[in-house]
Amino acid sequence: MLDLSPKIHDEARQGEAYAPFAKDENPYRKHFYIESYGCAMNFADSEIVASILNDKGFGATRNVEEADLIFINTCSIREKAEQTVRKRLTEFKKLKRARRGMLVGVLGCMAERLKAKFLEEEKLVDLVVGPDAYRTLPNLIEEAEGGQKAVNVLLSRDETYADIAPVRLNSNGISAFVSIMRGCNNMCSFCVVPFTRGRERSRDAESIVAECAGLYNEGYKEVTLLGQNVDSYYHINEEKDETVTFASLLEKVALISPDLRVRFSTSHPKDITDDVLHAMAKYENICKYIHLPVQSGNSRILQLMNRTYTREWYMAKVDRIREILPGCGISSDIITGFCTETEEDHQETMSIMEYSRYDMSYMFFYSERPGTLAARRYQDDVPEAVKKQRLVQIVALQGKLSRESNERDLGKIFQVLIEGESKKSESDWMGRSSQNKVIVFPKAGNAFKPGDYATVEVVDFTQATLIGRNVSQP
């Protein structure tokens, strides 16, 4: 699941390894263990890797000790994310000494960024495989088993893994990620993604709809359509002479069933269109929640970031969302201390947060990434202490905004998709509203199960959670 609680995201999200089979019924002759870091796209990619590995005769295990192959699907977005991975690789190296024949592979963005350096300099790993090269894993594993160092970090202009059915890892059986495009063409100056994930390309719409329909038939109730910039989704079906935009794709997925919730992430403020907002308004099951990263509230900094919108333009987009979709949840990504950011610029970020009334934000201090436009053009001149102090301020402000947003929900009624038991209390259900807020409510007096929709009235709240009571008809 996407971790959507408000927190400082200066460390990569961390995944686990998973076992779709109990040990004694695992039909596979060998085992792989995979750990994922970073964005939802990486978690979705690990599910594609799992599918390719299953075909090669490897079954997933969540026990690293019994793995013949260990994979770490990595993130390069901030330096801290890379440090976490390096630490983990050193731990795997110790395991490797104890277990002859065990292979360790680095996947994802760090593999792409550091390429063969991983093999030459560090001798930590046996395989290095970039995000567009997962189809070649079977051959690479054979090379590595034969004692060769196996690397494939070729980026592709057309790989979308459209025909590979992901093996759902660590799934709650209710929500799933569906990747609709890969790469990014935006070149935000702070961002390493266009270098590690390559050019943007959209996956064929029919395969997306088929995957979502398949999930629904298996009992899933929610799909999250994933891309670095979903609003620039664009696919031409030459056979049908049909052009599919993101708005029309949303509509196709929404039509699978009114019982299947549709979410998406991430939207770029410059690309989200009125058509998308109208599609959201038209279909009840397209969730009223938009992740709309602002990054900074100051137009000069936005220009240096190459975000291609101004403060005013962003505010007008927020107005438009509120006009077409009253009550829509909005969240953001924010970076403090980007090159040349002054105290006044920072204050403008604070004021745009107030203006946008974000329900939630992911907040970071700027971390210079080698090779990016900003690293080449601008000096990383805001002292770390100042970056961190500004981060503390925006985190505190977001806390206040989240509490205020929750307070506005008091007395309101929401449809909640139940995901499972509350982590904090066995006697409560946990689910989400369409606006993506976590709602807990008592199990007593109802016979719901995970995957059911409940109608819940909000009676109390904390900063991160709404507390409700079931008002569904029996």
Residues annotated within a binding site: 39, 75, 109, 184, 188, 191
Contact of residue 186 among ligand 5AD, ligand SF4, none (CB under 5-8 Å per partner type): ligand SF4
Which of these segments, 57-65, 179-187, 207-215, 375-383, binds ligand SF4 (CB under 6 A)? Answer: 179-187
Cβ nearer to ligand SF4, comparing 11 with 145? 11
The residue whose two tokens read 């436009």 is 373
393-411 per-residue burial string, b: 16 or more CB within 10 A, e: under 16: bbbebbeebbeebbeebee
Residue 394 beta carbon to ligand SF4: minimum distance, rounded to whole angstroms: 17
The token pair at 460 is 């109390």
9 touches ligand SF4 by CB under 6 A: no
Would you tell me how many other CB atoms lie within 10 Å of the CB of residue 126? Answer: 25
The token pair at 456 is 């819940």
Cβ nearer to ligand 5AD, comparing 253 with 305? 305
Task: Read off the DSSP letter of residue 134.
Answer: G
Q: What are phi and psi of 125, to 5 degrees?
A: -135, 165
Q: Which amino acid is at 398?
A: Q
The token pair at 147 is 């004692």
Which of these segments, 110-118, 257-265, 359-367, 409-417, binds ligand 5AD (CB under 6 A)? Answer: 359-367
Contact of residue 268 among ligand SF4, ligand 5AD, none (CB under 5-8 Å per partner type): ligand SF4
Size of the site for ligand 5AD (CB under 6 A): 12
> CA-to-CA distance for 379 and 356, rounded, in angstroms?
30
38 touches ligand SF4 by CB under 6 A: no
User: Rule CB under 6 A: which of 260-289 touch ligand 5AD?
Assistant: none
Half-sphere CA count of 270, side-chain side, radius 13 A: 13
Contact of residue 184 among ligand 5AD, ligand SF4, none (CB under 5-8 Å per partner type): ligand SF4
Cβ nearer to ligand SF4, comparing 188 with 439? 188
Cβ nearer to ligand 5AD, comparing 317 with 369? 369
Residue numbering of the annotated binding site for [4Fe-4S] cluster: 39, 75, 109, 184, 188, 191
Cis peptide before 340 (omega within 30 of 0): no
Residue 419 beta carbon to ligand 5AD: minimum distance, rounded to whole angstroms: 24
Residue 74 beta carbon to ligand 5AD: minimum distance, rounded to whole angstroms: 15
Q: Which amino acid is at 279?
A: A
User: Rule CB under 6 A: which of 263-292 touch ligand SF4?
Assistant: 268
Q: For residue 41, give the nearest of 107, 129, 135, 103 by alpha carbon.
A: 107
367 touches ligand SF4 by CB under 6 A: no
Residue 61 beta carbon to ligand SF4: minimum distance, rounded to whole angstroms: 32
Would you tell me how many other CB atoms lie within 10 Å of the CB of residue 255? Answer: 14
With contact defined as beta carbons under 8 Å apart, do 350 and 397 qualify?
yes
Contact of residue 183 among ligand 5AD, ligand SF4, none (CB under 5-8 Å per partner type): none
Would you call 452 helix, strand, or coil by DSSP?
A: coil
The residue whose two tokens read 């900003």 is 374
What is the separation, in whole angstroms, between the first and last Cα of the chain?
30
Give strand ranges (E) for 197-252.
Answer: 201-202, 222-226, 234-237, 242-245
Cβ nearer to ligand SF4, comparing 100 with 376? 376
Residue 88 beta carbon to ligand SF4: minimum distance, rounded to whole angstroms: 23
Q: What are phi and psi of 96, to 5 degrees?
A: -60, -40
Contact of residue 364 among ligand 5AD, ligand SF4, none (CB under 5-8 Å per partner type): ligand 5AD
Q: For residue 51, give the nearest of 226, 155, 223, 168 by alpha carbon.
A: 168
Report strand pairing: 453-461 vs 466-470: antiparallel
295 touches ligand 5AD by CB under 6 A: yes
Residue 226 beta carbon to ligand SF4: minimum distance, rounded to whole angstroms: 12
Report strand pairing: 360-365 vs 329-336: parallel
168 touches ligand SF4 by CB under 6 A: no
With contact defined as beta carbons under 8 Å apart, do 51 and 167 qualify?
yes
With contact defined as beta carbons under 8 Å apart, do 467 and 460 qualify?
yes
Residue 364 beta carbon to ligand 5AD: minimum distance, rounded to whole angstroms: 4
Q: x/- site string to ligand 5AD, residues 166 to 205, per CB under 6 A?
A: ------------------------xx--------------
334 touches ligand SF4 by CB under 6 A: no
314 touches ligand 5AD by CB under 6 A: no
Question: Facing residues of 202 across strands?
Answer: 181
Residue 82 beta carbon to ligand SF4: minimum distance, rounded to whole angstroms: 16
13 touches ligand 5AD by CB under 6 A: no
Q: x/- site string to ligand SF4, residues 185 to 214, per CB under 6 A?
A: -xxx--x-xx--------------------
Q: With DSSP H G I counted as helix, E B as strand and the rest as coil, what are the percentages for the chain, rounded to 5?
A: 35, 25, 40
Which chain residues interact with ligand SF4 by CB under 6 A?
A: 184, 186-188, 191, 193-194, 228-229, 268
Which chain residues interact with ligand 5AD by CB under 6 A?
A: 77-78, 190-191, 293, 295, 333, 335, 364, 366-367, 369
